[in-house]
Homo-oligomer: A and B are copies of this chain.
Amino acid sequence: MRATIIHGPGDIRVEDREYPSVLRGSDAVVRVSAACVCGSDLWPYRGIRETPEPRAIGHEFVGVVESVGSDVASLAPGDFVIAPFTGNCGKCAPCRSGVTVACEELVGWGSKDVHGDFVQGAQGEAVRVPNAEATLVKVPGVSDPEDSLLADLLTLSDVMGTGHHAAVSAGVTAGSTVVVVGDGAVGLCAVLAASRLGAGRIIAMSRHEDRAALAREFGATDVVAERGKEGAARVRELLGGVPADAVLECVGTAESMDQALRCTRPGGRVGFVGVPAGGAELPIGVLFAKNISVGGGMAPVRTYMPELLEDVLAGRIHPGKVFDSVLPLEDAAKAYAAMDQRKSVKVMLKP
């Protein structure tokens, strides 16, 4: 089969790899209908994270179950499924408490499972999924979704669940005043998540007209282009002199965390989901003096999937609009380049 391999900074190739098969009773093999490129995939692409040797890449996919192990009862060949960006067992204490990303048998796509067996990356034709019943979510009544629904479903694999985690971690509730830092796919989904949770005011910080337009479509009531002190002052002005109740930090840099803290009112909360890119700091003195809470981290998207899926299937939310480009898998290198150069917000890859 064909699979995307990163060889080093800027070096993405689609190569031939062995087609996966069921190795254990709890496995399923999923034929990928669509995958995509994540902002965090750009880190090794940009050389911010090292790539010591060529490796399979990609962690977001949806597809059709092809085969299942003998212990898999709730999934069958032909089922359309969504995979969260990590696999989990469903049985350990973290899984039972909903923090699936801290699973004791956590599976990273494109690396090895707890038994030492390889699991494929998501940007390829097929993936063996360990602990398939706990990991995959079946989409009821859907076998071959049309493009718009396919895009919506694919966002549940990561960006929509991650944006939702930012909103939940920041305590967004009906009437909250919200600021979203970051206008990438996660930031835009965070706007949608905040809107879905009933926020009263949502300020998207963006200086890109196309992204700002989508933010407005997703529920942003205001867009602020300024950054730093000026951005925080503008937020305060828009909110009648008081910073926001909840700030959703969807970038992961020192600048974005600083921006988030500047925009939070005393007693407010920052929900952060941007993978810390190094340098992001939490100044404990500021948190103490302003009584600002900080929560978040790697999103347990598997836990959020059922409720978000319900809204997608009912047509209440359309997070798939973050995809502004669809390319064949063979053009994975072009997809990375487009996202790296910010020509695209989010690129879907179809095998």
Residues in chain B near residue A267, CB distance under 8 A: 94, 97-99, 102, 300
Say if the beta carbon of A25 comes within 8 Å of chain B.
no
Say if the beta carbon of A73 comes within 8 Å of chain B.
no
Say if the beta carbon of A198 comes within 8 Å of chain B.
no
Shortest CB–CB separation between residue A277 and chain B, in angstroms? 10
Say if the beta carbon of A281 comes within 8 Å of chain B.
yes
Residue of B nearest to A287 (CB): B297
A94-B266, A98-B267 known; A295+B297 contact, CB < 8 A: no
Residues in chain B near residue A99, CB distance under 8 A: 265-267, 291
Say if the beta carbon of A10 comes within 8 Å of chain B.
no
Say if the beta carbon of A161 comes within 8 Å of chain B.
no
Say if the beta carbon of A289 comes within 8 Å of chain B.
yes
Residue of B nearest to A266 (CB): B102
Judge whether B284 and A284 touch: CB under 8 Å.
Answer: no
Residues in chain B near residue A296, CB distance under 8 A: 287-288, 291, 293
Residues in chain B near residue A241, CB distance under 8 A: 93
Shortest CB–CB separation between residue A232 and chain B, in angstroms? 15
Q: How many copies of this chain?
A: 2
Residues in chain B near residue A265, CB distance under 8 A: 93-94, 97, 99
Say if the beta carbon of A139 comes within 8 Å of chain B.
no
Judge whether B269 and A288 touch: CB under 8 Å.
Answer: no
Residues in chain B near residue A102, CB distance under 8 A: 266-267, 289-291
Say if the beta carbon of A169 comes within 8 Å of chain B.
yes
Residues in chain B near residue A288, CB distance under 8 A: 272, 275-276, 296-298
**Binary CB contact string for chain A from 248 to 274 against chain B (1 if under 8 A, 0 otherwise):** 000000000100000001110100100
Judge whether B295 and A101 touch: CB under 8 Å.
Answer: no
- Select which of B97, B280, B289, B298 is within 8 A of A297 by beta carbon: B289
Residues in chain B near residue A134, CB distance under 8 A: none
Range of interface residues on chain A?
A: 35 or more
Residue of B nearest to A293 (CB): B295
Judge whether A282 and B280 touch: CB under 8 Å.
Answer: no
Say if the beta carbon of A233 comes within 8 Å of chain B.
no
Judge whether A291 and B284 touch: CB under 8 Å.
Answer: no
Say if the beta carbon of A42 comes within 8 Å of chain B.
no
Say if the beta carbon of A150 comes within 8 Å of chain B.
no
Residue of B nearest to A241 (CB): B93
Judge whether A300 and B294 touch: CB under 8 Å.
Answer: no
Say if the beta carbon of A285 comes within 8 Å of chain B.
yes
Residues in chain B near residue A292, CB distance under 8 A: 295, 297
**Would you list 29 pairs from A and B whose C-beta atoms are within 8 A, ordered by A residue?**
A93-B242, A93-B265, A94-B267, A97-B267, A98-B267, A99-B266, A99-B267, A101-B291, A102-B266, A102-B267, A102-B289, A269-B295, A276-B284, A276-B288, A280-B284, A281-B284, A282-B282, A287-B294, A287-B296, A288-B296, A288-B297, A288-B298, A291-B296, A291-B297, A291-B298, A292-B295, A293-B294, A293-B295, A295-B295
